Amino acid sequence: MQTFVKGKRVGYWLSEKKMKKLSFQSFVDLCSEARVDKSEVKQHGNIFPHVLLRVKLDLSEPLEKQGPFDVIIHKLTDHIVDADQNITESLRLVQGVQDYIDAHPETVILDPLPAIRTLLDRFKSYKLIHKLEDSMQDDRIFSPPFMVLQTDCGTQETLELLHKHGITFPFICKTQVAHGTNSHEMAIMFSEEDLKDIKPPCVLQSFINHNAVLYKVFVVGEAYSVVQRPSIRNFPSGPTDRRAISFNSHHVSKPESSSHLTCRDNTEGQSWKPSHEVIQNISRRLRQALGISLFGIDIIINNQTGQHAVIDINAFPGYEGVPEFFDDLLSHVTSVLQGQACNGDACGHLRVNGTAQSHSVACVMHCGVMGNDSCWLIDSEGLKKGGHQDLTCIPPNFHQHTRSSLLAEASLNV
């Protein structure tokens, strides 16, 4: 049973599809039982005490009339993407939420809208993770070369850009927008002949052989779970006469997925176990840089070197295969509510959505999200290569759940 938090109000908004997929009503019930929210509701002219999670927000009505809220949990990604496409209704709904946030800076938002926008753009999120990995100076972490292609610039110019950014065949072509059905549609390009099939805007990322194993890291505040999933099989390095392969990453990485694309017959090198320390550090740095609490990280491990590569970051993922999700979310909400009394002056540090922030990290949050590179001091040598100790072969059906000190202070050396 969670610690009783008196008089706190938690609002939430998720689409009906997301509510059903997550069985989120179970979390609502869990919060009621745990007494996370206790509000007085006028009913039939009388005031009765109630123990409940605040009902789902009605975005068509001003939130001011529905509040006040101590915490708001949301999955507004659909509306944010549509608003960025200037769709009128979504612009109005997102602006309504932003107006409430602006008027109530004391309300904790899980997660901040600027951070969500960063994660919805693969190019921005890849730049951020590259900067974070560079600053960590950890030989066990590397960023696959990537670039954004905004327009169709022809085969020769595309080849020159690939060379400039260190991208070699084969590479993966992904949509720049990291949300929606189309965001899962990807293609592996094997030769110059395939370049004519690229449809900008898109992000191109070097393909790294990883023995067809993907590790999905589901983060909830201080806790995270690591779930092993199928992934794309190994391919020879360098250009080949193989034609481009199109695939849906969501289908490929389903637990039961089995096809020629996920075949592990050509396993090479070693099958590496993911490092708890590496995952913990990456999760913590992302929390500190963006002030986020609910996100997923897709990690592959180079089958030759054992290096960990972040190939995607997702806002408020599906948490499939994570039975601890609701308990972890309730624990995090409770922790955030209890921590509201602790302000930056009293505690000696800044706090964003329950995450302790050093002053250097606060700079990273502002500059990383806003795209200001001046706050980053990157080692001119870039990422270093090296040996990898204490990595062992991975057991089958791997699943790891950890509630660890992701709130620990860490200098980003900026």
Q: How confident is the model at residue 261 (pLDDT cuts 50, 70, 90)?
A: confident
Residues 256-293 as b/e (b if ≥16 CB within 10 A, e otherwise) read eeeeebbeeeeeeebbbbbbeebbbbbbbbbbbbbbbb
Residue 56 clears pLDDT 60, i.e. is over it: yes
Q: How confident is the model at residue 339 (pLDDT cuts 50, 70, 90)?
A: confident
Known binding residues for ATP are 122, 174, 205-216, 231
pLDDT at 112: 96
**Category of 340 on φ-ψ map: left (φ > 0), alpha (ψ -120 to 50) or beta:** alpha
Query: Across-strand partners of 205?
Result: 146, 172
Q: pLDDT (tens digit, 9 = 90+) per residue, 168-184?
A: 999 999 999 999 888 99
Q: How confident is the model at residue 404 (pLDDT cuts 50, 70, 90)?
A: low
Least confident range from 74-88, 237-251, 333-347: namely 333-347
Phi, psi of 63 (to 5 degrees): -65, -25
pLDDT at 34: 52
Q: Which residue has the higher pLDDT, 390 or 305?
A: 305
Mean pLDDT, rounded, for 291-319: 95
- The helix (run of H) or strand (run of E) holding residue 325 is helix 325-339
pLDDT at 258: 78
pLDDT at 259: 80
Q: How confident is the model at residue 153 (pLDDT cuts 50, 70, 90)?
A: confident
Q: How high does pLDDT run on average in the chain?
A: 79
Domains of the chain: 10-110 (3.40.50.11370), 119-403 (3.30.470.20)
pLDDT at 338: 81
pLDDT at 111: 94
Known binding residues for 1D-myo-inositol 1,3,4-trisphosphate are 18, 75, 184, 216, 314, 318
pLDDT at 342: 57
Least confident range from 83-87, 245-249, 378-382, 394-398: namely 378-382
pLDDT at 307: 95
pLDDT at 121: 96
Known binding residues for Mg(2+) are 298, 312, 314
Q: Which residue has the higher pLDDT, 126 or 368?
A: 126
- The sign of the torsion formed by the CA atoms of 66, 71, 75, 76 equals positive
Known binding residues are 18, 75, 122, 174, 184, 205-216, 231, 298, 312, 314, 318
pLDDT at 67: 81
Residue 221 clears pLDDT 90, i.e. is over it: yes
Using CA atoms of 26, 29, 30, 31 in order, give the dihedral in degrees to the nearest 10: 130
